[in-house]
Chains A and B, each alone.
Chain A
């Protein structure tokens, strides 16, 4: 198998902080690797090493078939980087941002213009093309940033938390964009703090925490490992909690956890939900919450490491 991204034993230390403590990553050509981890896990550091922006203290990495340390120019010619914080030039218009990169990459002016127009169209920015990026909304900035990283038709693309800070609708839009990029054959490394996002986009997921890989699996394998989805029910009348518990045990054979009037069950089977709704209706139990969702990052970590995410001081937006 040929790999678009391959890293072994990456370490990097910043003063007292061991940002990477021996990270292995691998993404076969044309696949999406999701790197899942909480704040401070080392995601950005890993991306910066792979994108030749940062020298690791030890370890090795190949990107698009070239050694990151020994052939950085070859690597740079084949990658696109969308950093965690939009690096568009705020004083330039959308078009100017794209032209700048096109011309730096050695395109003739006409070629660069064509490419800029294509990408603006594709990212739904044509109308805002002539406006200074300072005036763009957060979502538009992200899209422009992503568009800029595609100017040179990279074969390996790094997306560092592409949806953090976007509202749910914009997040779904961004997912579609990522899917289209992948459909055209590029290898993508995507970092995220959401299992849901990794599940929606990635072929394989590597979970990292405090600079270490703590799990690597397919989304299904990972979900299976951490016990599938979470079913959550909250009866309006707390007095009927025991009845709900019995229904849940009966349906799912799980042992529901009770916290603050809310029952949570691990389930593997999506079809349980309608059945549960039916049973609740028959018994006449009103519920104020009923949901089926993937475990949050916190729940994933609790399952994988037996303790909550190590960095909870920062906002987990």
Chain B
């Protein structure tokens, strides 16, 4: 490269990597693209409402509106029950914006540029999922801090909180691929939201997030018992508050692997096909 020819295009040795991208370059490209998403989030802090204000409002509403009625009159006891559940629900809800943003990026033509670059096909999708981890971390911290201020007591101590953090972040990363997939197949960002809520409402309310399963009719119990969010919530309850963990932990991990193995390839394939 010479300094006298500023804009070089032609015959010089090319600047870019040539040839097929490797796994390590895919990882690096995804990191670069994740940074791009984070810059965008930083510029539009409103986009963080669903991981900051929204969980606080839910925590307050459910604890003080339903708490008295549900947990035999003790709001305190209900908060202990509710907080891990709400963590599961809000993670699922926070995943919606991932697919919406990707859909909007494609509509705007930003992804055409990525597609014309010699980078891994899946790099833009992996990068977006990676960047979303920051949002889930904020969500986790907000729920824990506000919950503690309201009187939540993680009786298992720091280790339990840490384990819950790791598990729920892992779950979020896998669950997010559903949103990515929907983002790839839906026509508009609005449609992504519609489809995702149709999926998330039964998953989050048809779980043991808000009330104990025993009060439900049998067919619903059957659904709740296989629902991945129920398993996550039960595992987190166990990790934070004590009680049996192993079974739910295993099921949560199985679900995570399943979601990842099914939806990540589906999403990448849909991305490739989308003209």
Interface residues of A (CB under 8 A from B): 30, 48, 51-54, 73-74, 76-81, 83, 85-92, 96, 100-107, 111, 115, 118-119, 121-122, 132, 148-155, 157, 180-181, 184-186
Contact = CB atoms under 8 A, between A and B. Distances in A.
Given A85-B109, A92-B39, A185 B115 contact: no
B247 interface: no
B262 to A, nearest CB: 25
Given A73-B118, A106-B25, A152 B36 contact: no
Given A87-B109, A105-B16, A180 B116 contact: no
A186 B14 CA distance: 12
Interface stretch (B1-9, B182-190, B198-206): B1-9
Given A83-B112, A85-B109, A96-B39, A152 B16 contact: yes
Interface residues of B, number: 39
Contacts of B115: 52-53
Nearest to A99: B32
Nearest to B31: A103
A132 to B, nearest CB: 7
Contact of A103 (B7, B32, B110): B32
Contact of B113 (A30, A74, A87): A87
Interface string B1-40: 0000111111110111111110001001100110010011
A74 to B, nearest CB: 7
A111 B15 contact: yes
A289 to B, nearest CB: 40
B103 to A, nearest CB: 15
B21 A83 contact: no
Given A106-B16, A122-B7, A76 B118 contact: yes
A119 B28 CA distance: 24
Contacts of A153: 8-10, 12, 14-16
A118 B6 contact: yes
5 contacts: A73-B21, A87-B108, A102-B15, A105-B16, A180-B7
B10 A78 contact: no
A25 B20 CA distance: 27
Contacts of A30: 10
- Listed from nearest, the 10 A-B pairs whose CB atoms lie closest are A185-B10, A106-B17, A105-B16, A152-B16, A77-B118, A87-B109, A186-B9, A76-B118, A81-B116, A91-B40
Nearest to A82: B113
Interface of B: 5-12, 14-21, 25, 28-29, 32-33, 36, 39-40, 43-44, 108-110, 112-119, 123, 275
Given A73-B19, A92-B36, A111-B15, A105 B118 contact: yes
Contacts of A86: 109
A173 to B, nearest CB: 15
B227 to A, nearest CB: 36
A89 B6 contact: no
A101 B117 contact: yes
B116 A79 contact: yes
Given A53-B115, A105-B117, A105-B118, A181 B18 contact: no
Nearest to A75: B118
A121 B3 CA distance: 13
A89 B112 CA distance: 11
Given A76-B117, A184-B10, A87 B19 contact: no
Given A100-B32, A132-B43, A53 B5 contact: no
> Which of B5, B25, B110, B116 gathers most chain A CB within 10 Å?
B116
Contacts of B14: 77-78, 152-155
Nearest to A188: B9
Contacts of B10: 30, 153, 155, 184-186
Given A77-B17, A153-B16, A53 B112 contact: yes
Nearest to B123: A104
B8 to A, nearest CB: 5
A71 to B, nearest CB: 9
A73 B18 CA distance: 8
A31 B172 CA distance: 51
Nearest to B20: A73
A207 B11 CA distance: 29
A103 B116 CA distance: 15
B117 A184 contact: no
A181 B44 CA distance: 36
Nearest to B114: A104
A155 B17 CA distance: 14
Contacts of B25: 106
Contacts of A186: 9-10
B36 A89 contact: yes
A104 B7 contact: no
Given A111-B15, A119-B7, A121-B6, A104 B112 contact: no
Contacts of B44: 91
Contact of A91 (B9, B32, B43, B114): B43
Given A73-B19, A184-B10, A91 B39 contact: yes
Contacts of B118: 73, 76-77, 105
